[in-house]
Structure 1
């Protein structure tokens, strides 16, 4: 009996030792490797899609800005034909506003001319933007000073007498009244302020008011900015356009288009200089036309501008 118990004890001891040995051996053979620690400067690999995108960006060509469409050579040829038959010095700028980018066609448009009353267009444009922004009101009162007087349409100016901005704008726009123009410019801060405004809207080669010089290209740039909503948007247009529509002077650009077209424009003339700058619209039609002339004056100049206007209208509508 004691022999059996001793034998069983030995067997049990043997088996227990084997299990301990097996566990210890397994611990040595299968000891886990230390974890990889990512240093602060290390980063996990980017996803494949991100890597592809970054590689494509690194090798892609830089974005090229859209190139404005070039001049219309057929229209330019037609304008040259009209101007060739006159002794006048002429500048013409046409801007087709259809499409995402305006298309300019110019003939001697960078030449400098006396601006005459086209400076009033800049003043009215600035007034419209100010009214749209709320910094001015149509009912604001501007008072006359004797040094603002110049021969013109109206004779009711007297020192200390005040007029609403709306009244002066109507006189300057519809009748090109000189004294009203002076009062509006003074209300804006004078000629320097007027020209700073003009430059902000693309008229880089003009000196309006004094010495009062401009180009057809600059007048067209101003109208283009206005028409595209860059000078106060629709609110400014709603105030400005009626002032410059069906004015007392319709023998230039308006005379070259059908009565169904809307011509919003400002004329300017003095001595042998006659200018007209307009936005012309009709269903499916929208363009700017600026014409500056010198050397004819009077009805011959108005007739030339009307012929140029007719050529542009026919081209834009066919």
Structure 2
């Protein structure tokens, strides 16, 4: 049976001690798969839409992404950050150096360990389509979680593994995107039904959460008027969590005036960690969704706090 690698997972493909790195080569036949072509077209359209104000047009993922120029502009746009690298690099050495800086920023933003990375400077610069797709899908899922990525896209790869006795090869099925059923199972809850079936009541829920939040923040002389935007940088969320959960949050542990997307992600991640540790949240929440102003996710987190403290809350 061929091994299967899920998105974002590392997997031992052979029970043999290795002397080098496992290499995955995309099967030529997979490049003609309609689902893969659909994913490539979707990603190209997404990048072009993100960068249309900069008059940048991507026509080929393999040919246009490898030198770091597109990745540089794309990450600055979607992460709302600045990356100090040269704009145009002509030599391979400078291109790889630029890619190294960009990919390190990606790892930081996505909060990934080295073992979780499915791309590196060499693979991207050598126009490896598999690594390039993994990288772009990861960026899209993290910074634009509402993007309807084509689901259940998989490819067949040849796996080459150096061993002490030589090279061992095999085949594997590698998934680039999750199935729509899996995404739905992970995200579907009462708030999904609220937004889908009774959208007219969303404002009522927003007002109830607004009253609850402002009641708790009264002693701090703070007030929230817009749930859609005021929780995006994580500051008020951290103060609210500290107030309700009784945490003393040292000012040195978060950004009181966050300037970048990374600062905001740090703040929101810290608040969500507190809520997970305290049992307020039963399942992890993607901090990027709150930073990106996803109202449903923000309400979901606030409602979890409301459920725990509603007995002490009198409108």
Give the structure with the larger helix fraction: 2
Q: Which has the larger radius of gyration?
A: 1
Do the two structures share a fold, i.e. TM-score over 0.5? no
Q: TM-score, normalised by structure 1?
A: 0.20
